[in-house]
Amino acid sequence: MAISIKRRIFLKGSLAASAVAMAAGTGLLTPRAVLAAWPKDAFAAKAMPDALSALLGVTDAAKSGDIKVTAGDSGEARDGGQVKVHVETAMADVTRIAILAPGNPFPLLGAFDLGDGALGYAETRVKLAKSGDLIAVVKAGGKLYSANTSVRVVSSGCNS
């Protein structure tokens, strides 16, 4: 008798555990996925206004002299597969920095979401298909600003 009671408790326990596992599996217990879901539509957009609209809800952002954006070595990239991109701004309340290359098949290269205490800064390396503009869009205080730089690509990064 005692054995069968224990068995019942065990079964109850494992049922509860599997319910939690199911909830986690369906995303019910992953709040971070809601905060920063990978923006599939923005990355799949083939034109810059579509990418911006999917990512930030606008098709254009005001130009700002307070954003510093550089690409390659003084604007030149021998290897289009490894182009250094640097974005920096002293604006307050920066929450997102996006980098785009209108000359790429999919213009949106990446987006950087900043938490509390983060400085308005992002740096990475990207693949560029051809020479052209590299655009940084900064969301600060709920408003959008942009800056661009041109980069000359010697060898396309399409195959890397």
Q: Which residues bind other proteins (CB under 8 A)?
A: 32, 36, 38-39, 43, 81-84, 101, 104, 106, 108-119, 121-128, 157-158, 160
CA atoms within 13 A on the CB side of 12: 6
**Closer residue to other proteins in complex, CB, 14/160:** 160
Min dist CB 147 to other proteins, Å, is: 18
Q: Tell me whether residue 3 or residue 37 sits nearer to other proteins (CB atom).
A: 37
**Closest approach of other proteins to the CB of residue 2, in Å:** 44
Tell me which residue of 82, 140, 79 sits closest to 114, measured CA to CA: 140
Cβ at position 56, least distance to other proteins in Å: 12
Determine contact, residues 68/147, Cβ cutoff 8 Å. Answer: yes
Alpha-carbon span 19 to 109, nearest angstrom? 38
Query: Alpha-carbon distance 128 to 24, whole Å?
Result: 38
Q: Which residue, 114 or 138, has its beta carbon nearer to other proteins? A: 114
Among residues 11 and 29, whose Cβ is nearest to other proteins?
Answer: 29
Q: Closer to other proteins by CB, 3 or 40: give it.
A: 40
d(CA 70, CA 79): 16
State the Cα–Cα distance between residues 109 and 98, nearest whole angstrom. 8
Closest CB 102 distance from other proteins, rounded Å: 12
Q: How far is the CB of 62 from other proteins (least distance, A)?
A: 23
Show the tokens assigned to 91.
């604006």
Q: Which amino acid is at 116?
A: D
